[in-house]
Amino acid sequence: MKNKFVLILIILNSIISYSQKKCELYDCINAYLEIKRISKKYHSVLIKEKENNKTVLRIFYGGDSISNYVNNYRSPLFNDKAWKELSQKYLNDTIKRYWNTKDFPNYNFIYENKKGLWNFSFLDKYNNNSMNLYFISEPIYYDNQKYILFEFAEGITDVRGI
């Protein structure tokens, strides 16, 4: 009985530690949303599917021959060894991850699927109700956890404004 109790405590401690790390990791995104002055009062659309970390790595690297995005710019924070470690970990990651209301409890986000973007039901729903639209990737630690990288892209739901 005592062993079961100890095992349950270990499992609970692991779950609590994981959720605290997750919250700390998402704190960087919440801080960024604060800096960008993303409204907490008004509705905005957040795409449920987290953006792919391959894109984050490609942008940080400065583009590559595979992507259409090549800017030939590298951040002064770029470290080839640290980037190689990240690329080995994330370039072959194909697991889909999703945002939910627990990740951004202080924001009034409407969560929409990426697949449904710009189809007729999406346009009917949002075309006359212009809202900000956000795409955000899962944050990843970089350079021995000195930095956190993530992608943040924004747009609007009203296609007439484009």
pLDDT tens for residues 50-86? 988 888 888 888 776 455 555 566 778 888 888 888 8
Question: What's the pLDDT band for 44 if we cut at 50, 70, 90?
Answer: very high
pTM: 0.76
Round to the nearest angstrom and report the end-to-end CA distance of the chain: 65
Give the residue-averaged pLDDT of 119-140.
Answer: 85
Q: Strand runs (DSSP E) across 24-151, as ranges?
A: 44-47, 109-112, 132-136, 140-142, 147-149
**What is residue 159's predicted lDDT score, i.e. its pLDDT?**
63
